[in-house]
Each structure stands twice: as C-alpha cells, then as structure tokens.
Amino acid sequence: MPLDPATIAQRRHAFRALHAGPAILVMPNAWDVASARIYEEAGFPAVATSSAGLANSLGFRDGNELDVDLHLATLERIVGALGVPLSADVESGYAADAAALATFIARLAATGVAGYNLEDTVAERDLFPLDEASARVRAARAAAPDLFLNARTDIYLGGFGPEITRFDATVERLRAFAGAGADGLFVPGVADAETIARIAVAVPLPLNVLAGPKTPDAPALQELGVRRVSVGSWPMRRTLGVLREIAHELRETGTFSFTRDSIVTYAEANALIAPRAET
C-alpha cells in the first residue's frame, strides 16, 4: 500500500536530520524487502539499497542495465514494507541527458524514498564532463527538492586519471556538485585514513564513503570527519557466498549441516514481510 504524503514527508525530514549527527550514519544496503526488514529489525534508523545487489537479485547486471520500471516498482515495495526511511542507489539515473534524468527523479520521488545516490558515470564507464555532471545534479535537485541528493563521484572507484590527480579532481567535482544543489557527497573507492580526512575537510557537505576490507571502522571514520558510511553490495555478495557453501555441501556430500546453523525461522521470515497495521 502506498504511503500517505504526511508519512513520506516525515521520513524525508528524519533522514535528512540523520546526517547532522551526533553519530556517524551507518547505512546498511539491502537488495529486497526481506533484507531491508532484517536491517530495520536490527535497529537501523534508515536503510539504503545497493544498485548491484538489487539488480543482481532481479536478473540484471549492475551498470545501468536494470529495467527502470522494475527498479521503481521494487523500491516502492521496499518503502511500503519499512517503517524507516529508504535511500535508493539509482546509479546515474538511467538517463543520457538532464531532462530525462529530471523525469526519472520525479518518478523516483513518487515511490516514497527519502533520498538517493546519483553517480557521475555514463554507461560506458566514463565520467560525465564536469559541467554536464553538475547540470545533472541541478536538474535532479529541481525535480525533487525534498529528497536527500547524495552526489557521487567515481574517480577513485573507477581509477579515473593518474593517481596523483585524483584527490584534486575529486574535490573539484564534489564542490561543484555542492554548488549545484547536492545535500551530501559520496566518494566510493577511497580507504586510507589520510585521504579520507583530507577530502572531509575540503568539501562543504556531509561526506559518505564506502566500506571495504581496508576501510577504517565507523568510529574511526567519524573521527576523520565522515558523516555517513555505506556497505554497498558486500552483504548481498557475502550472502551469496554462504549460499555457494550450501550448494557445494548439497552437491558434493549430500549432507544438511547448514540446517543446524543459525537461521531466520519460517515464522520469522513470514513476519518480516507481513503487512503493517494501519495507524
């Protein structure tokens, strides 16, 4: 059931406030209703989606290949299943130009999400020119000004340009995105504490980084000036790793030891996606 406008507005206000502290916002990334509800039950005040996790779960590769209508319909289902705000990773908005991007963002807003990540990459895995990328942020902001727009640059993640230039290029882009109307700034692919701290000082909006094997933990990131940390598709891929272990046991030994491990019970799984009582 679609949320009423008052509930949507309340969630958007609450999500924006989470970026103002006092603690760093740890954003768990879901890929379907059940995973999003697991995070909510664990006590997270907001949940995000992973573009890769969601795309893979629906039979698409990551990288702007996910069917737009299916993506939006899935987001609407997750929003309706949650009692906390949802932020959507929508890659580069499935749009080649700013006008088409604005149309998509207006449709995204209608799902009830509280915010979204917007990348500065094109489908061919290159960066939009800075002027064009900034215009896209500006168009997205105008299309849905109440959504939290987390503008992302993939300079570090994609290894664009010589390594020595990446810090300055990243800061240039982030400052331009801030000037174009972004609410937060996202730099995946950077893990060393010194670089993270330098970026946090150099940009005027809340900084979001992506967790990985070499990333400092959340308290350390907060000390570095980071306001938000995401986990991306790591939980989904770790879950697939567990499923692969189960598959190998079934195929190679025909045993069922996995049934004795910690699980979500049948009743609990059904309860996760039970319709919420109307209030």
- What digits encode the pLDDT tens for the residues 116-164? 999 999 866 799 999 999 999 999 999 999 999 999 999 999 999 999 9
- Report d(CA 246, CA 82) in Å as an integer: 29
- 184 pLDDT more than 90: yes
Q: pTM for the complete prediction?
A: 0.95
Quickly tell me which residue has 């999400």 as its tokens: 113
- Report d(CA 139, CA 2) in Å as an integer: 26
How buried is 150 (Cβ within 10 angstroms: 0-12 exposed, 13-18 middle, 19+ buried)?
buried
- Report d(CA 197, CA 179) in Å as an integer: 21
- What digits encode the pLDDT tens for the residues 232-269? 999 999 999 999 999 999 999 999 999 998 889 999 99
- 225 pLDDT more than 70: yes
- What digits encode the pLDDT tens for the residues 69-95? 999 999 999 999 999 999 999 999 999
CATH number at 5-233:
3.20.20.60
- 22 pLDDT more than 50: yes
pLDDT score recorded for residue 3 = 87
Strand bridging mode 148-152 / 25-27: unpaired
- Report d(CA 222, CA 247) in Å as an integer: 39
Instruction: Tell me the β-bridge partners of 132.
Output: none
> Residue 229: which of 251, 244, 242, 212 has the closest Cα?
212
pLDDT score recorded for residue 124 = 62
Question: What HEC string does 15-73 produce?
Answer: HHHHCCCCCCEEECEECCHHHHHHHHHCCCCCEEECHHHHHHHCCCCCCCCCCHHHHHH
Angle, in degrees to the nearest 10, between helices 33-41 and 234-252: 110
Task: Calculate mean pLDDT across residues 99-118.
Answer: 98
With beta carbons less than 8 A apart as the criterion, state whether 82 and 47 touch: yes
Quickly tell me which residue has 């609450």 as its tokens: 14
Average pLDDT in the chain: 95
| Residue 117 neighbours by CB distance under 10 Å | 26
- 279 pLDDT more than 50: no
Q: Cis omega before residue 129 (within 30°)?
A: no
Residue spans of alpha helices (H) in the chain: 5-18, 33-41, 51-57, 68-81, 98-109, 130-143, 155-158, 166-179, 193-202, 218-224, 234-252, 266-272
pLDDT score recorded for residue 122 = 87
